[in-house]
Amino acid sequence: MNEKLIRELQALLGTEHVLHSEHELRLYEYDGSIETARPDAVVFPGDTADVVRIVKFANRRDIPLVGRGAGTGLSGGALARHGGIIVAFTRMNRILEIDAENQCAVVQPGVVNSDVSLAAAPFGLHFAPDPSSQRACTIGGNISENAGGPHTLAYGVTANHVLGLELVLPEGGIVRTGGNAPMVPGYDLTGLLVGSEGTLGIVTEATLRLTRSPEAVETLLAIFDTVDDATQSVVDITARGITPAACEMLDGWTLRAVETWAHAGYPMDSAAVLLLEVDGLLEAVGPEAEAITDVCRANRAREVRRASNARERELLWKGRKNAFGAVGRLSPTYYVQDGVIPRTKLPETLRRIAEIGCEHGFEIGNIFHAGDGNLHPIILFDARKSGDRERAIAAADRIIEHCVSVGGVITGEHGVGMEKDRLMPLLFSDVEIALMSRVRDAFNPRHLLNPGKIFPTGKGCGEIRVRPSHQVTRSSLHSSAGFGSSSGRV
Amino acid sequence: MYSTDSRADFRSRVARIVGEANVLSPGGSTDFKSHYQVDGLAPALAVRPGAREEARDIVRLAREYNQSVIPIGAGTKLGIGMAPRSYDVALDITRLNRVLAYDPGDLTISVEAGCRLRDVQTLVAAQGQFLPFEPPHAADATIGGSLAANSWSLCAEGYGTPRDFVLGMEFVTGEGQLVHSGGRVVKNVTGYDLHKLMIGSFGTLGAMVSVNFRLYPLLQDQRLFAATFPSAESAFQMLHQVRTSFLKPRTLVILDPGAAALMQRSGKVFGSHPNSWILSATVAGHSAAIERHERDLKVMAAQAGGREFIVVRDEKVDETAALLREFSVKLQQERPTNIGAQIGVLTTEVFGLLCELRANAEKENFACATLFQASGPAHLTVWDDAVSTQMLEDPNNDALTRLQRMAQRIFEITNAHQGHAVIQWCPIGLKSEASVWGESRSDFTLLQKVKTIFDPSGIFSPGRFVGGL
């Protein structure tokens, strides 16, 4: 970006709120993904009026704008793929209101996720979405990517906890959507905006739902000799009427990697560990923990451990929380994938992932949210070796294709970003992508907001398109009058 | 205007898609008008596609012939919204009633939009599961209609609203494209969630043809509680106690004395004290947890000054919950000259809002009944038994003017309490005077753009929604 433009930006926002030197910009060419892209400038708005100034400035000069929180995203969402200005929300980090009585909070986008829960804790409330990066990641980023986390099984993802937004549009207009009162008449723009990856507008304020914190929590760790037994336990727990707050699984390879470093107490020869949490009333969690123990034992669990206090709970979570750190010690670089499958397809999918690893010459570990079928295969590769990165991406693509073929999707909580834009045709027809693209045009007609994300650009996307296999329904379930049966993809 | 030739041509092409038996005309059936008319307007024909692709082809034809289309399920909520600017074709989706995919182990289901909600509940209940959606008109309502109207759900306190458990959807756009959004899995951030726009769009963006839901384990043991109070203050004090406790009721509602009296008459389980406010909650789950709820709720009710504490068990729970769920519907059907409003308002504002609305109704000599759902909307019905349909149509009678004044006050009072009101039910005469949706908001320009993208020719339910969309 030329010096004249930098001087204009500095005049708009103050010299100290504009970064433009080579070494400063380098810090902003990364996020949590394996992609990089360098911006031309980084600006730090202090309020909505600053954002409007920036947006108008960029719009007049056709400069791309990319919002950024903490840069912990895993799909390149906060990277300036086509250059331009990164709008970093570091300064807009105030919690404007905690409204305990109406169980909501009004925050600026730069507020750190876990800070909302900290501020709400004195009222017995918390913000439910808890991505692994929750001590760093920001609400603005959570909203852009529709972030999840281990406890979304019972509590839902970010979209379920955002009630309203203030938004700056590319021409500088300010719009409010939704609100804290329920049942706003009109199309649910808030629902559309959450997860739109910064391509529709720049969020400058959010009204969040706060959730009552539970009275009691029970955490269990079950150790299995086969993945199938662990998976069957997940299905059987539901059949007992229990919706766990969290239900995480580590496969054998991953638990061994974790054990070697973090000493979480996992037997090195086991095939899967299941980490389960139930919460609620004191009277409810005890019997639920008992029932879960029974189910796991009935499915040949080698051992079921149960924690009732915070220290023991921390110990059981230790392995899960340190898993990525442990993997980091085994390999200079690794690639975390994010596919989703119907959860009954877990065993066959894990077998397929192992095969894909063999075919491409990688070790692939699996950590996943077993309750909702959200997989995080971890592909270990060495970015310094020529061709390794490309092969890792090819292996990841095969995994994602498999997820789609069994009725799943290409990303559960990391976002499409610049990582999976080319995979969008796996799930969506040209007509469907065109419809989404027209929605983007309505908000962001000149594609200046986060360009190069979500939408596939290159030609030949159709070549990788596969149609998922048709799910055959169980005809025995359709005996009730008025129901026919058929199969098909939806 | 279109020539008779063009209409006949359109009709025969429609018949070629769905078969003659599935094209209905006003002359062909006595029920036609009562079933398909919207605000007194009847369509030229009703079409019943038997496959999602047929629905798509009909919309394509309708666009070609510039015929306006209103998608219709069971038709239970067609009265909501403004009178359509035009209405040529009723797109009856009730033959789209197949289950597309259901593996109980996945805790998800995919069904066509014309399925009756009740049938889906029966199907999944046999597998020990349930769809956490309990809107009114439970006996007849279809999946598509209930979602298009974003009907309030009795168990929203425990499970949220449709945007929380609809995972994906297939719909036909105004361009006649059959598209899908979302997926069949619980977690998904692939692409824009266009299906969220369809929920609550009242048939103005397209026609839903299939929907994927998240399911939950069915909790067999349940109990319903009702506490009666001498004043609004005491009932709301208990509500505050419940909401700041660890208790997790699956439903939580407050009834004003008007609603309480009607419920006491029909249900006999809501106490006997006249002029009571009632707080009612249901809980489900493990027996120890149910006992704890009962214990704590009883103490809370006593502390707040409750008169009676009623416990309903076993199969009586569903029956009693149904009375609450169908309360406003029943009231509206029995009193066709009333106003029914759904009011979205903050918990802290409800008390003041209800007191003002009730005082206003009284001043205007109207009876009123309100059911307020915690963290959901309030449902207010206002009526005067002395007013007949004839009086509303008589220009020399002030009955309609009085109702208009009341509707105006509902909007004013709700706005003053930072809420939003929608008049869901009123005499047709009222609709020509003001929008039943209230005033448009700052995002209206974006709503218009969304409408244009989904339905560029404006053939879907023209003029029925917010701001004439």
Q: Which residues of A touch B103 (CB under 8 A)?
A: 342, 344, 471, 474
Amino acid type, A351: R
Cβ-defined contact of A443 to B170 (cutoff 8 Å)? no
Q: Which residues of B touch A428 (CB under 8 A)?
A: 180, 190-191
Q: Which residues of A touch B55 (CB under 8 A)?
A: none
Cβ-defined contact of B197 to A284 (cutoff 8 Å)? no
Per-residue pLDDT for A470 more than 70? Answer: no
400-429 in A: which are within 8 Å (CB) of B? Answer: 407-416, 420, 424, 427-429
140-159 in A: which are within 8 Å (CB) of B? Answer: 145-146, 148, 152-153, 156-157, 159
Is the CB of A185 inside 8 Å of chain B's CB atoms? yes
CB neighbour list of residue A44: distance below 8 Å, 6 or more residues apart: A13, A17, A18, A88, A89, A90, A91
- Residue of chain B minimizing CA distance to A180: B346
CB neighbour list of residue A310: distance below 8 Å, 6 or more residues apart: none
Separation between Cα atoms, residue B105 and residue B111, nearest integer Å:
16
Of A153, A156, A280, the CB nearest to B248: A280
Cβ-defined contact of B190 to A280 (cutoff 8 Å)? no
Alpha-carbon torsion, ordered A475, A479, A484, A490, to 10 deg = -50
The bridge status of strand B206-214 relative to strand B108-112 is antiparallel
Separation between Cα atoms, residue A112 and residue A170, nearest integer Å:
25
Cβ-defined contact of A412 to B185 (cutoff 8 Å)? yes
Alpha-carbon torsion, ordered A470, A474, A475, A479, to 10 deg = -130
24-43 in A: which are within 8 Å (CB) of B? Answer: none
Looking up tokens 């307020």 gives: B372
- Residue of chain B minimizing CA distance to A237: B217
- Residue of chain A minimizing CA distance to B130: A241
Q: What are the structure tokens assigned to B321, written together?
A: 């919950």
pLDDT in tens, chain B (469 residues): 456 688 899 999 999 999 999 999 998 667 898 899 999 999 999 999 999 999 999 999 999 999 999 999 999 999 999 999 999 999 999 999 999 999 999 999 999 999 999 999 999 999 999 999 999 999 999 999 999 999 999 999 999 999 999 999 999 999 999 999 999 999 999 999 999 999 999 999 999 999 999 999 999 899 999 999 999 999 999 999 999 999 999 999 999 999 999 998 886 788 888 899 999 999 999 999 999 999 999 999 999 999 999 999 988 999 999 999 999 898 888 887 899 999 999 999 999 999 999 999 999 999 999 999 998 999 999 999 998 888 888 888 998 999 999 999 999 999 999 999 999 999 988 998 889 999 989 999 999 999 999 999 999 999 999 999 9
Of B194, B344, B466, the CB nearest to A181: B344
Burial status of residue A390 (CB atoms within 10 A of its CB: 0-12, 13-18, 19 or more): exposed
Separation between Cα atoms, residue A352 and residue A366, nearest integer Å:
12
Q: What are the structure tokens assigned to B365, written together?
A: 């000599």
202-241 in B: which are within 8 Å (CB) of A? Answer: 205, 210, 212, 216-220, 240
Of B123, B164, B170, the CB nearest to A480: B123
The bridge status of strand A65-68 relative to strand A85-88 is parallel
- Residue of chain B minimizing CA distance to A198: B192
Separation between Cα atoms, residue B115 and residue B135, nearest integer Å:
14
Of A160, A374, A432, the CB nearest to B180: A432
Query: CA of A457 to nearest chain B CA: how many angstroms apart?
Result: 14
The predicted-structure confidence for A148-177, as pLDDT tens digits, reads as follows 999 999 999 999 999 999 999 999 999 999
Say which DSSP state A413 is in.
Answer: S
Q: What are the structure tokens assigned to A294, written together?
A: 């029974």
Query: What radius of gyration do chain B's Cα atoms show?
Result: 23
Nearest by Cα to B432 from B187, B82, B14: B82
Separation between Cα atoms, residue B278 and residue B3, nearest integer Å:
59
Is the CB of A474 inside 8 Å of chain B's CB atoms? yes
Cβ-defined contact of A436 to B191 (cutoff 8 Å)? yes
Query: A449-460 in b/e burial notation, b at 16+ Cβ within 10 A?
Result: bbbbbbbbeeee
Per-residue pLDDT for A484 more than 60? Answer: no
Is the CB of A187 inside 8 Å of chain B's CB atoms? yes
Mean pLDDT, residues A50-59:
98
The predicted-structure confidence for A275-296, as pLDDT tens digits, reads as follows 999 999 999 999 999 999 999 9
The predicted-structure confidence for A352-362, as pLDDT tens digits, reads as follows 999 999 999 99
Is the CB of A467 inside 8 Å of chain B's CB atoms? no
By mean pLDDT, which of A33-42, A453-462, A468-477, B333-342 is the weakest?
A468-477
Q: Which residues of A touch B244 (CB under 8 A)?
A: 124
Which phi and psi (to 5°) does residue A392 adopt? -65, -40
Separation between Cα atoms, residue B138 and residue B156, nearest integer Å:
15
A412 neighbors A432 (Cβ within 8 angstroms) = no
Q: Which residues of A touch B161 (CB under 8 A)?
A: 182
Is the CB of B66 inside 8 Å of chain A's CB atoms? no
CB neighbour list of residue A422: distance below 8 Å, 6 or more residues apart: A456, A457, A458, A461, A464
pLDDT confidence of residue B266: 81
Query: CA of A366 to nearest chain B CA: how many angstroms apart?
Result: 17
Which phi and psi (to 5°) does residue A471 adopt? -75, 120
Cβ-defined contact of A284 to B446 (cutoff 8 Å)? no
Mean per-residue pLDDT over chain A, rounded: 91
72-131 in A: which are within 8 Å (CB) of B? Answer: 99, 101-103, 124
Q: pTM value?
A: 0.94
Looking up tokens 């309750």 gives: A371
End-to-end alpha carbon distance in chain A: 46
Is the CB of B447 inside 8 Å of chain A's CB atoms? yes
- Residue of chain A minimizing CA distance to B347: A102
Cβ-defined contact of B183 to A477 (cutoff 8 Å)? no
pLDDT confidence of residue A441: 96
Distance of CA A398 to the CA centre of its chain: 20
Of A239, A286, A374, the CB nearest to B128: A239
CB neighbour list of residue B458: distance below 8 Å, 6 or more residues apart: B68, B174, B451
CB neighbour list of residue B396: distance below 8 Å, 6 or more residues apart: none
Query: A246-284 in b/e burial notation, b at 16+ Cβ within 10 A?
Result: bbbbbbbbbbbbbbebbebebeeebbbbbbbbbbbbebb
Separation between Cα atoms, residue A194 and residue A192, nearest integer Å:
6
Separation between Cα atoms, residue B99 and residue B207, nearest integer Å:
18
Q: What are the structure tokens assigned to A358, written together?
A: 């063999």
Query: CA of B201 to nearest chain A CA: how many angstroms apart?
Result: 6
B345 neighbors B398 (Cβ within 8 angstroms) = no
pLDDT confidence of residue B3: 64
Q: How many other C-beta atoms can be found within 10 angstroms of the C-beta atom of residue A347?
A: 15
CB pairs under 8 A between A and B: 296
CB neighbour list of residue A319: distance below 8 Å, 6 or more residues apart: A250, A255, A258, A259, A262, A264, A265, A266, A273, A275
Q: What are the structure tokens assigned to A196, written together?
A: 């739109």
Separation between Cα atoms, residue A198 and residue A78, nearest integer Å:
9
Share of chain A above pLDDT 90, in %: 79
Is the CB of A458 inside 8 Å of chain B's CB atoms? no
Strand, coil or helix: A340:
strand
Looking up tokens 């339910």 gives: B461
Edge-to-edge strands, sheet with B178-182? A484-485, B98-103, B108-112, B206-214, B166-173, B178-182
Query: CA of B81 to nearest chain A CA: how many angstroms apart?
Result: 11
Per-residue pLDDT for A488 more than 50? Answer: no
- Residue of chain B minimizing CA distance to A163: B163
Angle formed at CA A364 by CA A358 and CA A367, multiple of 5 degrees: 150
Is the CB of B420 inside 8 Å of chain A's CB atoms? yes
Is the CB of B140 inside 8 Å of chain A's CB atoms? no
B438 neighbors B341 (Cβ within 8 angstroms) = no
B183 neighbors B170 (Cβ within 8 angstroms) = no
Is the CB of B350 inside 8 Å of chain A's CB atoms? no
Q: Which residues of A touch B212 (CB under 8 A)?
A: 490
Q: What are the structure tokens assigned to B297, written together?
A: 């709720």
End-to-end alpha carbon distance in chain B: 21
- Residue of chain A minimizing CA distance to B162: A160
Q: What are the structure tokens assigned to A120, written together?
A: 């709400």
